[in-house]
A and B are shown apart, each in its own frame.
Chain A
Amino acid sequence: MLFHTRNKGELGSLYQAGEIIFRQGDVADCCYVILQGRVELSAEEPDTCWLSMEILEKEEVFGTTSLFGNTPRLLTARALEETRLLTIDQNGFLRWVEEDPSLALRILLSMARRSKRLIQKIIQLQKSQPESMPGESA
C-alpha cells in the first residue's frame, strides 16, 4: 500500500502577516483562540499612529471583553506573522460559560495575566518619562 504525502487540513482560519482580524469599533460576535502565530492588539487614536498595547501568542484567547460587555471592539487585532486562529461563536461561548462557569475561570485567568502585563507596561512607561515637579502637568 502506497501513502501519498499527507495533504492534511488544518483547523481554523489562516491570516497573513499584517492582516487585520478585527478593527476597533467593529461589532463583536465571536472571540478567537490562537492556534499558531502571534497577534498584536493596538489602539487606533486619531492623528497618531497605532498604539501597540500587547502581543499575544499561541493558546491565548482574545476578543472576549466585547462578548461579555456586548460592546464594540475596544482594540484592533492584527496578525504579526502567518497566524492561524480558531473562531469561537458568541452564542455558543456565552451558553457554555453559563453551563460551566469553570470555563470562565480560564478566561478570567487569561485576562488577569494580560492586565498584569499591561500594568507592568504602564509602570515602565511612567518610569521612562522625565520626572515632573509636583503640580506640573506631565
Chain B
Amino acid sequence: MRLVNGSTVAIVGGGPAGSMMAIFLLDLAQKLRIDLSVDLYEPKNFSATGPSGCNLCGGVLSESLVQLLATEGIVLPASVVIDTINAYVLHTDEESARIEAPRREMRIATLFRGAGPRGAEHQHPLPWSSFDQFLLELAIQKGARHIPQAVTGLNREGGLPTLFCHDSPPRRYELLVGAVGLNQSRSLQLFEDLDFGYRRPGTARAYVAELYYGADSVRQRLGQAMHVFLLDIPHLKFAAITPKGDYATLVLLGDHIDHLLVERFFQSPEVQSCLPEGWEIPVQPCHCQPHIHIGAAHHPFGDRVVMVGDACVSRLYKDGIGAAYHMAKRCALTALAHGISRQNFQAHYWPPCRVMLWDNRLGHLLFAVDRLFHSLPWLRRALMEVLDRERSLNGGPSPLSSALWNTFTGSASYGQIAREMLQPTLLWQLVRSAGRALRAHL
C-alpha cells in the first residue's frame, strides 16, 4: 500500500496542519520524482474578519517554529507578522519580573489566523494578511488544488476512501488525511463514523479575545513583550496578554472559564497596570472559546487514512502550530517513504506522536506544580527572589529564567523544562528562598 505516480490524496482541513501536510507531501514527492495529486478541502474564507474567517487561536508562533520554518525556506512575509516579541514579563501580586530573549533578537511572531478581529473590516485594505491564508497559498504554489467546499460525507468504496461534497460527484482517493480542527465538530464526526475506530482527543476550553488598545497604547503598556500573570484565581491555569499591532490578545486557559472569571481577571491590579489609562473593557470584544487539545485521540490512523494536527496529537497548552508542523512533516514522510497502511503509520508516524503524548503527561504534572505557585503567596515570593538574583548576575547562569522562557515561549518540550527546573543549584536556591519567604509569611 504505497503512493506511486498518479496517486491522489485528499486533505480535509486547510489550517496549518492541512496546508503543511500538502506542502511537505508535494515537496518530498518532487524530490522522489513521484507525481502526486493533492486536493485540499477548506471551505473557510480566511480573508473574512472575526471568528468566521479565523481558526480560533491566540496567534503566537514559537521561537523554535520561526527558526524551523525559516530553515525550511518558509520565510513569513512582513504582512503576516503583526508584531514581534523579545521578552516576557511575569506579573505576580507583589512584583513583576522581565525575562529577556536569550539572543535579544525578534524570534517570536504574533499574527492573525484569519483576516483579523471583528470590526477591523472598516479599514480597506487591511494592513495585514492571514497566516492560514499564507500557508494555504504556499500549498497551492507547491501544486495542491484548493477545493473551497465543505466535506459532507466519508465512506470507503472498493477499499479506497471516498469523499462526498454537495453538488459534486463522490471522489475516491488513495490516501485521506484528516487535518480537521477541534472546533469542527461535524467534520470530526465524519472521521469518527468511518471504519478505522477514530475517536477525537479530549479537550478543554480556552478563552481568546482581541482587545483594541490602538498601536501607541500597545507599545506604551505592553512593549514588545508577552505579559504572563501568576494570579490566585480559581480555575485559572494560565493567563497572558500579547501585543498584536493595534490589538492586545488575551488568552486564558483553565478548567472552567466563564464571564465571572474573565471579569475577575480584568479587575486584578496586576492586569489593570497593563491596560491603557481610562480604557474600558469592551462589552463584546472579538472573542472565542475554542476547544484545545488535552488528551490523546484513539486510533488516529487506519489503512489509507490518517489524522494530523490537533485532531491527532498536539502540545499541551502551547505551540499547537509547532506540533502541527512536526506531525504533518512526519506523516508526509511516512506516507511517501514507507507506505499508507495502518502498520506503516503505526511503525513510523505513531512513535513521535507517542513521545509528544508522554511529554504532555509531564506537562500536566508541571501545571499541577505551577498551581502551587498560583495559590501560595510565599512560594511566588521565593520564585521572584530567585529570578531577581539571576537578573542581578547580569549574564551569569540563569536556569530559572531559561526554564520560564521555554515554558512561556513553547520552544522546548516539557521534559527539557523539567530537566532545567530540576538542576540541583536551582532547587537549592528555590528551597532556601521558599524557607525564608515562609518564615516571613508566618
Q: Among A5, A6, A13, A86, which residue has its beta carbon within 8 angstroms of that of B70?
A: A86
Interface: B392 (CB within 8 A): no
List B contacts of A88 (CB < 8 A).
67, 70-71
Tell me, in angstroms, the Cα distance from A106 to B329 when the chains sit together. Answer: 14
The answer to whether B78 touches A61, judged by C-beta atoms less than 8 angstroms apart, is: no
The answer to whether B216 touches A10, judged by C-beta atoms less than 8 angstroms apart, is: no
List B contacts of A89 (CB < 8 A).
67, 103
Tell me, in angstroms, the Cα distance from A33 to B82 when the chains sit together. Answer: 20
Tell me, in angstroms, the Cα distance from A87 to B83 when the chains sit together. Answer: 18
The answer to whether A1 touches B122, judged by C-beta atoms less than 8 angstroms apart, is: yes
Interface residues of A in 67-101 (CB under 8 A from B): 86-89, 92-93, 96, 99-100
Tell me, in angstroms, the Cα distance from A92 to B409 when the chains sit together. Answer: 14
Chain A binding surface, main DSSP class: mixed
Q: Among A5, A35, A87, A106, which residue has its beta carbon within 8 angstroms of that of B72?
A: A106
Interface: B234 (CB within 8 A): no
The answer to whether A3 touches B84, judged by C-beta atoms less than 8 angstroms apart, is: no
The answer to whether A93 touches B75, judged by C-beta atoms less than 8 angstroms apart, is: no
Q: Among B83, B107, B119, which residue has its beta carbon within 8 angstroms of that of A12?
A: B107
Interface residues of B in 196-232 (CB under 8 A from A): 212, 214-216, 219, 224
How far is the CB of B274 from the nearest CB of chain A, in Å? 18
Interface residues of B in 47-96 (CB under 8 A from A): 64, 66-68, 70-73, 75-76, 78, 81-85
List A contacts of B81 (CB < 8 A).
8-11
List B contacts of A92 (CB < 8 A).
64, 67, 411
* Residues 369-389 of chain B, each 1 if its beta carbon lies under 8 Å from chain A, else 0: 000000000000000000000
List B contacts of A5 (CB < 8 A).
127, 215
The answer to whether B107 touches A7, judged by C-beta atoms less than 8 angstroms apart, is: no
The answer to whether B76 touches A11, judged by C-beta atoms less than 8 angstroms apart, is: yes
Interface size on A (CB < 8 Å)?
Answer: 32
Interface: B105 (CB within 8 A): yes
How far is the CB of A84 from the nearest CB of chain B, in Å? 9
Tell me, in angstroms, the Cα distance from A10 to B76 when the chains sit together. Answer: 10
Chain B binding surface, main DSSP class: mixed
List A contacts of B245 (CB < 8 A).
6-8
List B contacts of A4 (CB < 8 A).
214-216, 246
Q: Among B72, B85, B109, B127, which residue has its beta carbon within 8 angstroms of that of A3?
A: B127
The answer to whether B72 touches A1, judged by C-beta atoms less than 8 angstroms apart, is: no
Interface size on B (CB < 8 Å)?
Answer: 43
How far is the CB of A26 from the nearest CB of chain B, in Å? 16
Q: Among B75, B84, B216, which residue has its beta carbon within 8 angstroms of that of A59?
A: B75
How far is the CB of A112 from the nearest CB of chain B, in Å? 13
The answer to whether A87 touches B107, judged by C-beta atoms less than 8 angstroms apart, is: yes
The answer to whether A1 touches B71, judged by C-beta atoms less than 8 angstroms apart, is: no
List A contacts of B411 (CB < 8 A).
92
Q: Tell me which of B66, B70, B76 has the highest count of chain A C-beta atoms within 10 A of its own C-beta.
A: B70
Residue of B with least CB distance to A58? B75
Tell me, in angstroms, the Cα distance from A7 to B70 when the chains sit together. Answer: 23
Q: Among B70, B103, B122, B215, which residue has its beta carbon within 8 angstroms of that of A33?
A: B70
The answer to whether B78 touches A10, judged by C-beta atoms less than 8 angstroms apart, is: yes
Interface: B140 (CB within 8 A): no
Tell me, in angstroms, the Cα distance from A46 to B78 when the chains sit together. Answer: 41
* Residues 46-77 of chain A, each 1 if its beta carbon lies under 8 Å from chain B, else 0: 00000000000011010000000000000000
Given A87-B107, A100-B329, A102-B329, answer yes or no on A6-B122 (Cβ-Cβ < 8 Å).
no
Interface: B164 (CB within 8 A): no
* Residues 101-138 of chain A, each 1 if its beta carbon lies under 8 Å from chain B, else 0: 01101110000000000000000000000000000000
List A contacts of B212 (CB < 8 A).
1
The answer to whether A8 touches B82, judged by C-beta atoms less than 8 angstroms apart, is: yes
Q: Among B66, B75, B119, B216, which residue has its beta carbon within 8 angstroms of that of A1?
A: B119
The answer to whether A12 touches B71, judged by C-beta atoms less than 8 angstroms apart, is: no
The answer to whether B329 touches A3, judged by C-beta atoms less than 8 angstroms apart, is: no
The answer to whether B128 touches A11, judged by C-beta atoms less than 8 angstroms apart, is: no
Residue of B with least CB distance to A97? B71
The answer to whether B105 touches A12, judged by C-beta atoms less than 8 angstroms apart, is: yes
Q: Tell me which of A92, A93, A107 has the highest count of chain B C-beta atoms within 10 A of its own C-beta.
A: A92
List A contacts of B326 (CB < 8 A).
100
Interface: B28 (CB within 8 A): yes
How far is the CB of B271 from the nearest CB of chain A, in Å? 22
Residue of B with least CB distance to A31? B71
List A contacts of B267 (CB < 8 A).
none
How far is the CB of A93 from the nearest CB of chain B, in Å? 7
The answer to whether A9 touches B71, judged by C-beta atoms less than 8 angstroms apart, is: no
How far is the CB of B335 from the nearest CB of chain A, in Å? 13
The answer to whether B84 touches A10, judged by C-beta atoms less than 8 angstroms apart, is: yes
The answer to whether B71 touches A106, judged by C-beta atoms less than 8 angstroms apart, is: yes
Other A-B pairs beyond A6-B245, A13-B105, A88-B70, 6, CB < 8 Å = A5-B127, A6-B128, A8-B78, A33-B67, A100-B330, A106-B71
Some 20 contacts from A to B, beta carbons below 8 A apart, are A3-B120, A3-B127, A3-B246, A4-B215, A4-B216, A5-B127, A6-B245, A7-B216, A8-B83, A9-B85, A12-B105, A12-B106, A12-B107, A59-B73, A88-B70, A93-B71, A96-B68, A99-B352, A100-B326, A106-B71
Closest 5 CB pairs of A and B: A9-B84, A33-B70, A4-B215, A6-B127, A86-B70
